[in-house]
């Protein structure tokens, strides 16, 4: 048995060891050292721990070993399924491994705000339930230290992101103030050199598949034929070919990027090239040189700044070109897409478009001139007011079918009837006087009275004719196409005013409004088809019989083309509108679809050219 003195010495040693672990935890320089110190401290506070490891989730969401105790190189893969079970069940678990009744596996999940961020797994001596509860309590209190670590990581990450955002925003404002693209590139180089503490910064822009040096910090001009410029362009090409950031010496071992040109460029310092890319296409590169190697924080800041500034630089680069330059750039982009094996859908689509264009160039189709169309009656008669008067009644209105002799409307004839009575009385009186003169053999007076009698009878005939015309009737079977006086009873009308219009029932014509640029193709007796808005499922044939004069409508110069319908039906009505197509003849499909544009282009060139 141990003596009291031996026990005191052991306690002192144990206390000194824990004190050293606490000191190591407090002075940890990075997250890995902090995790190792924390796990060692937990194992020191728990009796008879054989092996332990800590799993933490990284930024990608993968759980990776952050610390292993006592030997960091020990193989703990046999406890991996047990750790996965703890993460899946989100609770503390323990079990005895098969074949090792004296050992116990214990796992405690690390959770914050309802989210699992890790687990600690222990291989220790088997123990009773009360001791196991003390184990859970110790791990529960100890997990707070890991939460502090994660909080530090989060705060540090946010601080770095905020600083990168501020840096990038300031640079974007400074570059945006430059009026020309080359000045913007020079400003970018100077800003990066100043804010990221670089000795030199070079900016290159892609041109015809090669990256050309365009700006160098602290230099008003760039000597592109110098060895230094060639070395920078080689480094930019090296990064652009790999499509990723290249750093020499790399901040993380085993980065995998080829950095031969960067090694020659860096010499005793550091070199870093960030590719300027937009939508997967390289548009340039930025190379930074320093007196010392670059760390991961520098690379992250440079990548964030370039990623945010890339759209602005691409837009400024495009705007500096004239139309010819933009067209050439578009053709080069199209050719790159055709050669890119990764863009299979683009290549297939281009091939199909080329085949379609080739087919359109050789295939023929019927060319037809299109125009808006309206149905009109072949004979359209106007019914006008026979004299000045007032509307007395209206028996029909537009849209109604009428037969010959049907009353359509009547004018007020009360004044005419009074005139009729007056002239009848005067005619009777003149006739009586005339007979008296004849009885007296007064020949001179008889001739005067005979003239008065003839005048009175003429006035009676005139009034009776007006009374007859006061009742307007249909001259033939047809349909009223305009006029509705049912709401105008009692209103005055003037002589000659159109009151109604009537058209025959089954005799129609088509009026097409053909655009001026297509009228040259229209000839008499050409065939065509009409589709009305009210009869879209039926095509009505017609034949051109007259080409009228031009007229303006809605700012467009149109020609009035008259055509005769070859078939009619009861469903047709005057005023129905639709679209008519006049068949011209066979043409190439490509010409049919493109000739309006080329006609417009020829006219504009004729107008613009001297």
Residues with Cβ within 8 Å of residue 71, at least 6 apart in sequence:
none
Tell me which H or E stretch contains 278: strand 270-278
Q: Residue 4: what pLDDT?
A: 33
| Number of residues written out for the chain | 610
**Pairwise CA distance, residues 456 & 449, whole Å:** 10
CB neighbours (10 Å) of residue 550?
11
CB of 115 closer than 8 Å to CB of 147:
no
Q: Dump pLDDT digits (tens) for 364-417.
A: 889 999 999 998 877 777 777 777 777 777 777 777 777 777 777 777 777 777
Q: Is 607 helix (H, G, I), strand (E, B) or coil?
A: helix
**Pairwise CA distance, residues 365 & 178, whole Å:** 56
Backbone phi, psi, residue 50, to 5° = -90, -55
Q: Dump pLDDT digits (tens) for 411-451.
A: 777 777 777 788 888 878 878 888 888 787 777 877 887 88
**Pairwise CA distance, residues 448 & 18, whole Å:** 157
**Pairwise CA distance, residues 51 & 76, whole Å:** 8
CB neighbours (10 Å) of residue 62?
9
Q: Dump pLDDT digits (tens) for 539-575.
A: 999 999 999 888 888 888 999 999 988 887 657 888 8
**Pairwise CA distance, residues 143 & 148, whole Å:** 9
Q: Per the structure block, which two tokens stand in for 2?
A: 């141990």
CB of 50 closer than 8 Å to CB of 38:
no
Q: Residue 9: what pLDDT?
A: 33
**Pairwise CA distance, residues 181 & 80, whole Å:** 56
Tell me which H or E stretch contains 410: strand 407-411
The answer on pLDDT for 106 being more than 80 is yes
How many CA atoms does the CB half-sphere of 575 hold within 13 Å?
A: 9
Please classify residue 556 by burial: count the beta carbons closer than 10 Å to its beta carbon, then call 0-12 exposed, 13-18 middle and 19+ buried: exposed
Q: Is 38 helix (H, G, I), strand (E, B) or coil?
A: helix
Tell me which H or E stretch contains 236: helix 227-242
Q: Residue 154: what pLDDT?
A: 65
The answer on pLDDT for 28 being more than 70 is no
How sure is the predictor about 5, in pLDDT bands with cuts at 50, 70 and 90?
very low
Q: Per the structure block, which two tokens stand in for 29?
A: 């320089």
The answer on pLDDT for 12 being more than 60 is no
Q: Dump pLDDT digits (tens) for 191-208.
A: 888 888 899 999 999 887
**Pairwise CA distance, residues 598 & 502, whole Å:** 46
**Pairwise CA distance, residues 265 & 290, whole Å:** 11
**Pairwise CA distance, residues 411 & 350, whole Å:** 75
User: What residues pair up with 304 in beta bridges, in sequence order?
Assistant: none
Q: Dump pLDDT digits (tens) for 121-157.
A: 888 888 777 877 887 887 777 777 777 766 676 677 7
Q: Dump pLDDT digits (tens) for 244-270.
A: 899 988 887 656 688 888 888 887 788
Q: What is residue 515's DSSP assignment?
A: E
**Pairwise CA distance, residues 348 & 354, whole Å:** 10
Please classify residue 252 by burial: count the beta carbons closer than 10 Å to its beta carbon, then call 0-12 exposed, 13-18 middle and 19+ buried: exposed
Q: Which of 513, 510, 514 is nearest to 574 (CA)?
A: 510
CB of 110 closer than 8 Å to CB of 92:
no
Q: Per the structure block, which two tokens stand in for 173?
A: 């404002």
How sure is the predictor about 580, in pLDDT bands with cuts at 50, 70 and 90?
very high
How big is the chain by its Cα radius of gyration, in Å?
Answer: 51
**Pairwise CA distance, residues 459 & 428, whole Å:** 13
Lowest mean pLDDT among 28-37, 257-266, 496-505: 28-37
CB of 63 closer than 8 Å to CB of 55:
yes
CB of 393 closer than 8 Å to CB of 410:
yes
**Pairwise CA distance, residues 505 & 404, whole Å:** 12
* HEC sequence for 6-22: HHHHHHHHHHHHHHHHH
DSSP codes joined into one string, 54-90: EEEE-TTS-EEEEEEES-TT---GGGHHHHHHHHHHT
Q: Residue 326: what pLDDT?
A: 64
Q: Which of 377, 366, 376, 373 is nearest to 530 (CA)?
A: 373
CA distances (Å), origin 280, targets 245, 249, 283, 310, 317: 14, 26, 10, 12, 17
Residues with Cβ within 8 Å of residue 183, at least 6 apart in sequence:
none
| Percent of the chain residues topping a pLDDT of 90 | 13
Q: Which domains does the chain have, with CATH numbers?
A: 25-156 (3.30.450.40), 179-321 (3.30.450.40), 381-501 (2.40.50.100), 507-608 (2.40.30.170)
Residues with Cβ within 8 Å of residue 179, at least 6 apart in sequence:
none
Q: Is 362 helix (H, G, I), strand (E, B) or coil?
A: helix
CB neighbours (10 Å) of residue 309?
22
- Greater confidence (571 vs 509) lies with 509
Q: Which of 64, 79, 77, 70 is nearest to 36 (CA)?
A: 70
Global pTM reads: 0.47
* Calculated CA dihedral for residues 486, 490, 491, 497, nearest 10 degrees: 70
């Amino acid at each position: 048995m141990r003596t009291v003195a031996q026990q005191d010495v052991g306690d002192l040693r144990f206390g000194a060891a824990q004190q050293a672990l606490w000191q190591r935890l407090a002075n940890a320089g990075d997250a890995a050292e902090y995790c190792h110190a924390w796990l060692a401290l937990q194992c020191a506070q728990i009796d008879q721990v054989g092996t332990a490891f800590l799993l933490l989730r990284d930024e990608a969401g993968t759980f990776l070993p952050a610390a292993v105790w006592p030997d960091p190189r020990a193989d703990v893969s046999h406890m991996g399924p047990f750790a996965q079970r703890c993460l899946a069940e989100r609770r503390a678990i323990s079990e005895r491994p098969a074949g090792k009744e004296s050992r116990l596996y214990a796992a405690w999940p690390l959770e914050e705000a309802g989210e699992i961020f890790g687990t600690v797994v222990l291989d220790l001596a088997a123990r009773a339930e009360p001791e196991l509860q003390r184990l859970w309590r110790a791990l529960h209190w100890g997990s707070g230290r890991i939460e502090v670590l994660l909080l530090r990581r989060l705060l540090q990450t946010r601080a770095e992101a905020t600083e990168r955002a501020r840096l990038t925003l300031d640079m974007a404002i400074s570059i945006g103030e430059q009026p020309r693209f080359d000045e913007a590139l020079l400003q970018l180089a100077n800003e990066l050199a100043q804010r990221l503490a670089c000795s030199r910064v070079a900016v290159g822009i892609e041109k015809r598949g090669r990256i050309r040096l365009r700006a160098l910090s602290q230099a008003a001009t760039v000597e592109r034929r110098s060895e230094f410029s060639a070395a920078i362009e080689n480094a930019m090409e090296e990064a652009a070919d790999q499509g990723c950031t290249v750093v020499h010496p790399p901040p993380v071992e085993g980065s995998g990027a080829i950095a031969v040109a960067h090694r020659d460029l860096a010499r005793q310092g550091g070199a870093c090239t960030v590719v300027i890319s937009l939508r997967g296409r390289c548009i340039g590169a930025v190379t930074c040189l320093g007196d010392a190697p670059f760390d991961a924080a520098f690379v992250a800041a440079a990548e964030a700044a370039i990623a945010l500034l890339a759209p602005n630089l691409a837009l400024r680069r495009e705007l500096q070109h004239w139309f010819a330059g933009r067209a050439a750039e578009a053709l080069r982009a199209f050719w790159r897409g055709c050669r890119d094996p990764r863009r299979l859908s683009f290549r297939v689509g281009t091939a199909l478009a080329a085949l379609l264009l080739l087919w359109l160039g050789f295939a023929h189709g019927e060319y037809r001139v299109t125009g808006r169309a309206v149905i009109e009656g072949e004979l359209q008669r106007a019914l006008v007011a026979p004299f000045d008067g007032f509307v007395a009644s209206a028996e029909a209105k537009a849209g109604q079918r009428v037969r010959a002799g049907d009353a359509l409307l009547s004018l007020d004839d009360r004044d005419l009837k009074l005139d009729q009575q007056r002239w009848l009385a005067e005619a009777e009186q003149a006739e009586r006087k005339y007979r008296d003169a004849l009885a007296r053999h007064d020949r001179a007076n008889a001739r005067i009275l005979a003239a008065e009698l003839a005048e009175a009878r003429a006035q009676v005939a005139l009034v009776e004719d007006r009374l007859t015309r006061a009742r307007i009737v249909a001259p033939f079977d047809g349909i009223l196409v305009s006029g509705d006086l049912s709401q105008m009873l009692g209103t005055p009308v003037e002589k000659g005013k159109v009151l109604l219009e009537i058209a025959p029932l089954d005799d129609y014509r088509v009026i097409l409004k053909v655009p001026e640029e297509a009228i040259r193709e229209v000839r008499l007796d050409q065939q065509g088809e009409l589709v009305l808005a009210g009869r879209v499922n039926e095509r009505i044939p017609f034949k051109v019989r007259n080409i009228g004069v031009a007229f303006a409508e809605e700012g467009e110069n149109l020609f009035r083309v008259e055509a005769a319908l070859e078939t009619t039906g009861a469903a047709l009505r005057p005023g129905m509108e639709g679209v008519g197509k006049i068949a011209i003849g066979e043409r190439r499909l490509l010409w049919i679809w493109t000739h309006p544009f080329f006609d417009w282009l020829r006219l504009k060139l004729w107008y613009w050219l001297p």
